[in-house]
Amino acid sequence: MAGARGRIGWVQAVAWIGSIGVVAAAADQAVKAWAIARLGADRQIDLVGDWLQLRLVRNPGAAFGRGADWTVGFASLAVVVLVVGLIWAARRVRCRAWAALVGLAAGGVAGNLIDRMVRWPGFMRGHVIDFISLKHFAVFNLADVCLTVAAGVLIVFCLTGRADPTGLWPGRTAA
């Protein structure tokens, strides 16, 4: 059964996706709560000189603060992506690695969506809490890291021919 290496059933896939997603979103919210409590508006912590710092930013927009006037749109899009993505994944994913990948991405989307739903200035308009700052780049959070890692692994899967979420290796069938 070389073609079906690592295959899992529907219930296991949903359990993996849900568990990893919940843990990722909860971890994101926990470190954001820490950042709010410890960093405040004027405090920063230098981790690696001025190259890597922790500093609090409340982001009304998307990546690099773009789209601040479209906060409700970003929140609505996140809801659609989360619902459609989870329905697709529950129907299609039958591989532990893909389930982990989808769970990590879902946790990242959910972490930032929670901010949009519960933070100031209000429901679906809330500002995302960012606090990890890289010099000459951006300020981001753990949810963004989850999304980036998930996307990076997906790219590796595609480049190495492991782009099938069913867990079947391309050109082979389950024996």
Q: Which residues pair with 95 in a beta bridge?
A: 7
**Of 93, 87, 88, which is closest to residue 10 (Cα–Cα)?**
93
User: Which listed residue (28, 46, 130, 164) is catalytic?
Assistant: 130
Q: Which backbone phi and psi does 13 adopt, to 5 degrees?
A: -60, -45
How far is residue 57's CA from residue 27's CA, in Å, rounded to a whole number? Answer: 18
Residue type at position 43: R
C-alpha distances in Å from residue 73, one per residue of 37, 80, 113, 130, 159: 29, 11, 11, 19, 32
E-strand stretches of 41-171: 44-48, 52-59, 128-134, 139-140
Within 10 A of 50 (CB to CB), how many other CB atoms are there? 10
Helix (H) or strand (E) holding 151: helix 142-159
User: Which listed residue (28, 115, 144, 164) is catalytic?
Assistant: 144
Catalytic residue check, 144 = yes
Catalytic residue check, 69 = no
Active site residues: 130, 144
